[in-house]
Amino acid sequence: MKIIIGLGNPGKQYLGTRHNAGFEFLDKLKNKLDFPEFEFSKKFNAETSEGMIMGVELPFGSSTPTPKTFLVKPQTFMNLSGESVKNILDFYKLSPDDILIIHDDKDIALGEYRVVTDSSSAGHNGVQDVIDKLGTQKFRRVRIGIGAETNLPSEVFVLQKFSEEEFKKIEKVLDEVLEEVKKYF
């Protein structure tokens, strides 16, 4: 079983904000894989969509079946994301090696991304909560750049909506990240 977790904040008021880049990616991936709509799981306090990826040429480049895959959007708000992640790993008796976390990163330029394993949170509170709850930072992450060339405090900047031009750059990088996710399987 593989679990892809997008970090963000629940609620309509946060749609299209910089901090919800992880949720935006999962929506794109769900549509690409033709997975079912996200449904709320009280057990995990998360929206989940699950499926098997079989005979799919894109985006995974293989027609062999892959393990059951869960797409997860924690509904705990960003800074408490580790609660949902830990609940899922404990329930399915999985390890941090079985997860891939997708999140925003203000220290990376808009339109760029980085893939890291065994890396500190770099000040990202949602990632830090996952590290704290799991007791390790040894898991894979895709850090999606949201830029930070502003005089605004971080907590204000990350909750701003992308401009139309910025969102086009995010859409492009999300397509690139889809290619990166292939390596996860």
Query: Is residue 72 a contact partner of residue 47, using CB atoms and an 8 Å limit?
Result: yes
Distances (CA, A) of 144 to 36, 42, 120, 157, 160: 25, 28, 15, 15, 16
Amino acid at 31: N
Instruction: Let me know if 19 is a catalytic residue.
Output: yes
**Pairing assessment for the beta strands 46-51 and 69-74 based on DSSP bridges:** antiparallel
Q: Which of 18, 19, 133, 140 is catalytic?
A: 19
Query: Is residue 83 a contact partner of residue 101, using CB atoms and an 8 Å limit?
Result: no
CB atoms within 10 A of CB 92: 12
Active site residues: 19
